[in-house]
Amino acid sequence: MSIYLEKIQGTITEAKKLIYGQDELLESILAALVCEGHVLIEGLPGLGKTMSVSVMSQLCDLKFNRIQFTPDLLPSDLIGTLVFNQVTQEFTTKFGPIFSQIILADEINRSPAKVQSALLEAMAEKQVTIGDKTHKLPTPFVVLATQNPIEQEGTFTLPEAQLDRFMIKVSVGYPSFESEKEILDFKVNTTRLQPLLNQAELLVIKQEVEKVYVDEKIKDLIVRIVHSTRPGNRWFEKKREGLILAGASPRATIWIYKLAKFKAFIDNKNFVTPDHVLSVVSSVLGHRVIPSYEAALDKINMNSVVKEIAISAM
């Protein structure tokens, strides 16, 4: 076992001492930092989403900003604006909270379309435009966005283009009986956590993950799974006609490939297996595959659909 794998496991173990019953979320945040992807975290209020992000940012020694998304939020509140200095008779740039390494976009689906558009440029290009100048964002730059379920009052559905920018979507549920009982004995630690990882080590881990071997047959499997979500494609099964309106984009193929490598790395393997691929399919494809109107009415779970597609493709 490499020293970096021990560091990753130690970081997750330390985080679990403060966050109970959200193991998948903690691992997903670490995967986002290593692979430099964005994560959409969906769940009801009070389930530890915000605290999980805060704890992981401290353990990884990265600059962290939390932005509360509200219906009256403006793009300038997010990215910054130009301020006129009456003394110098010049405009100066006031940078917004998005200039950080980890952005917690809290309740992202409560903000209007203009704010979503400003965030989309940052997520896609890792840069923002203020006035007529473009400014690069720090590295790594990861958006961890939380959203309440769409049925909640005062929420907006995120556009497909923005959903596609998220590496994975994680659904946060209620903790188990044992985990919730442990919360009762939890004492808030007012001191800052000691970092167990840093930016340089995350970069080395990223390079180690990239070295994980992926066989040509596994690559074929990944592409076949994604193609199987697209109506009209030769891999698309007829029994799912009328269920899926549009399949996943090539971004899904890339993220399944990268995350399968990450899964193999934390599994202490130097090669990717079909099980590693299968373990990330739902979180990568579930929010990208657009259900038909009828499937949406019937509230068909797309995570289950894409898991069945992946199994059929094997």
Contact 80, 121 (CB under 8 A): no
The per-residue pLDDT string of the chain (314 residues; one tens digit each, 9 = 90 and over) reads 688 888 898 899 888 888 887 888 889 999 999 998 999 988 877 777 888 888 888 899 898 899 888 888 888 888 888 888 888 878 888 888 999 999 998 888 888 778 887 888 888 888 888 888 888 988 889 999 888 776 566 667 777 878 888 999 998 888 888 888 877 877 666 457 788 888 899 999 999 999 999 999 999 999 999 999 998 888 888 888 888 888 899 999 999 999 999 999 999 999 999 999 999 999 999 999 888 888 888 888 888 888 988 888 88
DSSP state of 67: E
Task: Supply the pLDDT for residue 208.
Answer: 92
Task: Supply the pLDDT for residue 152.
Answer: 60
DSSP state of 138: P
What whole-number distance in Å separates Cα of residue 92 and Cα of residue 77?
16
Task: Supply the pLDDT for residue 175.
Answer: 81
Secondary structure of residue 135 in the 3-state scheme: strand
Task: Supply the pLDDT for residue 151.
Answer: 59
75-123 pLDDT, tens digit each: 888 888 888 888 887 888 888 899 999 999 888 888 877 888 788 888 8
Task: Supply the pLDDT for residue 158.
Answer: 78
Task: Supply the pLDDT for residue 292.
Answer: 85
Contact 223, 185 (CB under 8 A): no
Give the DSSP letter string of 173-241: -PPPHHHHHHHHT-----SPPPPS--HHHHHHHHHHHHTSB--HHHHHHHHHHHHTTSTTSTTS-GGGT
Task: Supply the pLDDT for residue 283.
Answer: 93
Domains assigned to the chain = 3-201 (3.40.50.300), 212-313 (1.10.8.80)
